[in-house]
Amino acid sequence: MQNRKTPDISRRHWWTIVAFAVLLGLIFGGSLLYGYRTIEQLTGKETARQAVDVLLQRTYLCGKMEEETRREFVSSAQELTERYSGWTLVSNEQNKYTFRQNVDALAPGCGERAYFGINTNGDLTLFDGLPKDGKVMQTFFQIDTKKLEATLPTEELTLLRQGIRVNDEAEYHSILSTYEEFANTKENDAATMAH
């Protein structure tokens, strides 16, 4: 009888070992399968992202434009436009995106050399240096010099011809708004009638 119980015990141990091995196999196989699927998903996401070239153009008050080129990795054009939400998309050609931003400031360097003056055509102009040097950064509108002379002292016109230094954005806007009222309306009226 004792011999008979011994084989029953060893069969039970054998079935326990087999059941334990199957359980380990299922756990190991499941983990391996989960790992492969995770890697596939990650690889799929990486392949969905594509490299695009981004050109950022900053235009300052003085008319100067700075450009910066970047390489970005995105999964969609929408993701890119959301990333540059404060910018205006101006072109998109074959994975090259150009964004533009108007900056309400003088560009670095402009504030050190910017002068408002009148060019040879009588236009209010922002110069890089004194107006006599003739380095135009930006032209705005033609000044009605007769109206200016009739309204303001002659020194004001002389000062404008020599150049009025611009140190910051506040002075830029102040000078521009001061002389806007002296814009040549005849030229503006003729342009309006032509359209």
Residue type, position 151, single letter: T
Say if 41 falls within a structural domain.
no
Residue 27: the pLDDT is 78
pLDDT(87) > 90? yes
Q: What is the pLDDT of residue 96?
A: 92
Structural domain includes residue 93? yes
93-124: b (≥16 Cβ within 10 Å) or e: eeeebbbbeeeeebbeebbebbbbbbeeeebb
Contact 124, 141 (CB under 8 A): yes
Q: Do 158 and 190 fall within a single domain?
A: yes
88 pLDDT more than 50? yes
**According to the per-residue pLDDT averaged within each range, which of 26-40, 87-101, 110-124, 158-172 is highest?**
87-101
Q: What was the pLDDT predicted at 13?
A: 73
Count of Cβ atoms closer than 10 Å to residue 125 Cβ: 23
pLDDT, the chain, mean: 78
Q: What is the pLDDT of residue 107?
A: 81
Instruction: Please give the pLDDT value at position 153.
Output: 79
pLDDT at position 6 is 53
pLDDT for res 71: 93
Residue 29 has pLDDT above 70, yes or no: no
> In this structure, are 88 and 117 located in the same domain?
no
Evaluate whether residue 11 is within a structural domain: no
Spatial CA neighbour of 124 closest among 182, 167, 168: 182
Instruction: Convert the pLDDT of each residue in 101-110 to its tens digit.
Output: 988 887 877 7
Same domain, yes or no, for 86 and 121?
no
Is residue 119 within 8 Å of 136, Cβ to Cβ? yes
Q: Does residue 159 lie in a domain region?
A: yes
User: Confidence class of residue 8 from pLDDT cuts 50, 70 and 90?
Assistant: low
**Which DSSP category does 86 fall into?**
T
Could you tell me which residue, 96 or 46, shows the higher pLDDT?
96
**CATH assignment at residue 64:** 3.10.20.420
- Phi/psi of residue 94, nearest 5 degrees: 45, 65
Q: Given this model, what pLDDT does residue 193 score?
A: 34
pLDDT at 100: 93
